[in-house]
């Protein structure tokens, strides 16, 4: 079993910046076999009667001022990361919304061309308007217009094929 040859405290920040009675830290342990182990720990300020050697070492080597500074930096980094995450989530939500709108538009166009009268229509210009539509409302409007044209054409054909009396 390897023996510990050194111990160093890193990333020391106050657990509670107001009370300053405990710190969060990483303890870097080096062993005589060349291995290193990093432990995450909370070291607290002992009561008056029983000294904590880790607390004493941290206060001597690092000091309260540097811990204050580290804590402030850690809080700012955390807040910055949260803001970045929030912006990323908003951006992703906007992309998802746009994707859903495009999917709905595409689906509406497909449904429009499944209508028999539109499928069989020879009015290429009106069909192109449906295909090039940028919104669901445009698809609906151009589909309605084309259906009305096809209905008029059907009525004209019926009236011309009927024999006069």
Give the residue from 109, 144, 114 showing the smallest Cα distance to 128: 109
70 plus 112 within the same structural domain: no
Answer yes or no: is 56 within a domain.
Answer: yes
71 plus 119 within the same structural domain: no
Angle at 63 between CA 60 and CA 64, to 5 degrees: 140
37 plus 68 within the same structural domain: yes
Residue bearing the bigger pLDDT, 160 or 118: 118
Contact 5, 34 (CB under 8 A): no
111 plus 143 within the same structural domain: yes
Question: Is residue 55's pLDDT more than 70?
Answer: yes
Predicted confidence at residue 165, as pLDDT, reads 55
Residue bearing the bigger pLDDT, 163 or 103: 103
Answer yes or no: is 93 within a domain.
Answer: no
Domain boundary among 86, 112, 127: 86
Predicted confidence at residue 161, as pLDDT, reads 75
Alpha carbon 61 to chain centroid, angstroms? 41
80 plus 15 within the same structural domain: yes
Answer yes or no: is 96 within a domain.
Answer: no
Which DSSP category does 69 fall into? H
- The rounded distance, in Å, linking the Cα atoms of 60 and 67 is 12
Q: pLDDT tens digits for 129-153?
A: 999 999 999 999 999 999 999 999 8
- Band the pLDDT of 163: cuts 50, 70, 90: low
What Å distances lie between residue 24 and 41, 64, 67, 112, 113, CA to CA? 6, 13, 10, 63, 64
The per-residue pLDDT of the chain, averaged, comes to 92
If one counts the domains in the chain, the total is 2
CB atoms within 10 A of CB 154: 11
Q: pLDDT tens digits for 71-94?
A: 999 999 999 999 999 999 999 999
Place of tokens 């589909």: 143
- Band the pLDDT of 164: cuts 50, 70, 90: low
78 plus 108 within the same structural domain: no
Residues 6+ apart with CB under 8 A from 41: 24, 25, 26, 27, 54
Domain that holds residue 36: 4-86
79 plus 9 within the same structural domain: yes
Contact 142, 124 (CB under 8 A): no
According to DSSP, the β-strands at 22-31 and 4-14 are antiparallel
Enter the pTM of the model: 0.61
Contact 67, 8 (CB under 8 A): no
């Amino acid at each position: 079993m390897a023996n510990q040859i050194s111990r160093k405290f890193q990333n020391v920040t106050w657990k509670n910046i107001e009370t300053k009675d405990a710190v969060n830290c990483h303890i870097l342990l080096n062993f005589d076999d060349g291995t290193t182990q990093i432990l995450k720990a909370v070291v607290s300020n002992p009561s008056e009667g029983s000294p904590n050697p880790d607390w004493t070492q941290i206060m001597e080597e690092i000091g309260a001022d540097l811990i204050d500074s580290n804590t402030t930096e850690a809080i700012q980094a955390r807040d910055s990361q949260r803001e970045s995450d929030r912006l990323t989530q908003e951006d992703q939500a906007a992309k998802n919304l746009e994707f859903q709108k495009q999917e709905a538009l595409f689906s509406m166009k497909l449904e429009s061309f499944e209508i028999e009268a539109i499928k069989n229509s020879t009015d290429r210009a009106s069909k192109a308007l449906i295909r090039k539509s940028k919104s669901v409302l445009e698809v609906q409007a151009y589909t309605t217009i084309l259906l009305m044209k096809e209905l008029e054409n059907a009525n004209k054909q019926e009236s011309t094929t009927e024999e006069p009396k």
